[in-house]
Amino acid sequence: MTALLDFARALEFAAHKHIDQRRKGVRAEPYLNHLSEVAFLVAEATEGKDPVAVIAALLHDTLEDTDASYEEIEQHFGAEVASVVAETTDDKRLRKAERKQRQIDTAPTASSRAKLVKLADKVSNLRSMAYSPPADWPLDRKIEYFEWAHAVVAGLRGTDARLESLFDRAYEDGLAELRGETV
Ligand code: ZN
């Protein structure tokens, strides 16, 4: 009961915080589509038994991409959720290349909930990159993105076999789709 209420509150919070954001791809999907996909993948992986992980999945980009603060998330959703969200947030004070390297370096020591959210995030991102890629990205930049995601996920393996195989499928199908563009 209260888990469902918390879930609905987190959905409302995320929808409100990301209200003006869209994905970078040509379809410019509402940002909330990405959050619902990540939350769904985490809910499936945990068979609906870990509300903290699912709520953190819904909120995983609020610290990085909106005006939400750690304190706000902690106050509304508790310390467990806030710490998972913090673990899935890049340090924006670092330069982009450093942030990307940091994701590779910190993946193996992340908490198991953060690993699940990170894995689901990469599945969603590769799917988007394949079917709705950013219009101004050349092919080699997209392929570089796939290889980087693959390197991050290497440090997350052993978390959830099904989610890892969904990632492998998104990686292989996505690369094939991208390479098809050049034919
Ligand atoms: Zn994300």
Amino acid identity of 177? E
Q: How far is ligand 1, taken at its centre, from the CA of residue 125, in Å?
A: 7
The arithmetic mean of pLDDT across residues 60-67, rounded, is: 96
pLDDT by residue (tens digit) across 5-34? 999 999 999 999 999 999 988 888 999 999
Helices 70-77 and 51-59: angle between axes, nearest 10 degrees: 150
Give the side-chain half-sphere CA count within 13 A for 83.
7
User: What distance in angstroms lies between residue 170's CA and the mean position of ligand 1's atoms?
Assistant: 15
Ligand 1 centroid from CA 60, angstroms: 6
- pTM (2 d.p.): 0.95
Residue 110 and residue 123: Cα distance in Å, rounded?
A: 17
Q: How far is the CA of 74 from the centre of ligand 1 (A)?
A: 19
How confident is the model at residue 32, as a pLDDT?
97
Checking if the pLDDT of 156 tops 70, the result is yes
Which pLDDT band, with edges at 50, 70 and 90, does 183 fall under? very low
- Residues that are catalytic: 64-65
Q: For 103-139, how does the pLDDT look when each residue is reduced to its tens digit (9 = 90+)?
A: 999 999 999 999 999 999 999 999 999 989 999 999 9
- Spatial neighbors of 84 by CB under 8 A, at least 6 apart, are 52, 53, 56, 60, 111, 113, 114, 117
Cα 98 to Cα 80: distance, rounded to the nearest angstrom: 27
